[in-house]
Amino acid sequence: MQPQPKVLTVLIILSIVLFFGALGMVFLYAPLEAVMNYVQKIFYFHISNAWVGMLGFIVAAVTGTVYLVTKDLKWDIVELAAVEISLVFFFIAIVSGSIWAKPSWGTWWTWDARLTTAAILEMIYLACLLLRQGIEDPERRARFSAVYTLVGALSVPITFLSIRIWQTIHPAVIGAGSSGALGSFGMTPPMLNTMFFCLITFSVIFVTLLWYRIRLGQLAEQVAQLKIETLQ
């Protein structure tokens, strides 16, 4: 097991610093929004988490395809790391979104395009993990997981578009304002700055966690190798 590289140590310190910086910006620097007051501040974290979740999904789909082409198992470790981490980040995004929605829209959930696609994406992550659980052979597990993330990655945009089309024909708007209106509460420059800072913070946290998870995956692979060698 290689010792923790310096860059990783720097990254984790940076993540912690940035996170507290983000907290500070959100609570001290960003102005209170006119209508929703403190509830609106959830949005900074909600958007950042959702962004990271989607980034992870793209990373998973791409590394899965790279694995299918190169057959190098290290890409499978990256894919698994991306799926697991995105699962958690996206779940946080969904829950924080629900918490924001209740006071804003009057409901915990609505079946609009973004939320429904988010739920489906979460189910695809879970399905991928369940698929991996059921396979012993690491090479077959990597192949199937890559195929499934590819199929999932292709179907999610189509799902989003279909639900969008469904909505334009039957607009189902609950609560004040359309659920798709992100900038509807008009973000002032300090808010935008805070937003971007949070996005950067969470991207750094994502990279740090991904790196750690990859290291864990490599360690697990080494353990599996040792097991095979010892039992022979």
Partner 1 sequence: MQISSTAHRPPSAFLKAIGAIVWKDLAAELRSRELLSAMLVFALLVILIFNFAIELQPGLRSTVTPGVLWVTFAFAGTLGLNRSMAVEKDRGCLDGLLLAPVDRSAIYFGKALSNLAFMLIVEITVLPIYSVLYNINLFNVGLLLVILLGSVGYTAVGTLLSSMAVQTRTRDVLLPILLFPVILPVLLAAVKASSGFLGQLPMSEIWPWLNILMAYDVIFTAVAFMVYDYVLEE
Contacts to partner 1 by CB under 8 A: 68, 120, 123-124, 126-127, 130-131, 133-136, 140, 143-144, 146-148, 150-152, 154-155, 158-159, 161-163, 165-166, 169
Gap between the Cα atoms of 180 and 182, Å rounded: 6
CB of 119 to partner 1, least distance (A): 9
Q: Of the two residues 126 and 220, which places its CB atom closer to partner 1 in the complex?
A: 126
Of 17, 14, 44, the closest CA to residue 190 belongs to 44
Q: Of the two residues 118 and 209, which places its CB atom closer to partner 1 in the complex?
A: 118
* Contact in structure between 118 and 93 (CB atoms under 8 Å): yes
Q: Of the two residues 42 and 93, which places its CB atom closer to partner 1 in the complex?
A: 93
If you ran DSSP here, which 8-state letter would residue 33 be given? B
CB of 32 to partner 1, least distance (A): 39
Q: Is the dihedral of CA 212, 214, 53, 188 positive or negative?
A: positive
Q: Of the two residues 1 and 169, which places its CB atom closer to partner 1 in the complex?
A: 169
CB of 102 to partner 1, least distance (A): 26
Of 191, 187, 20, 36, the closest CA to residue 100 belongs to 36
Q: Of the two residues 98 and 159, which places its CB atom closer to partner 1 in the complex?
A: 159
Cβ count near 57 (within 10 Å)? 22
Gap between the Cα atoms of 182 and 185, Å rounded: 7
CB of 120 to partner 1, least distance (A): 5
CB of 3 to partner 1, least distance (A): 36
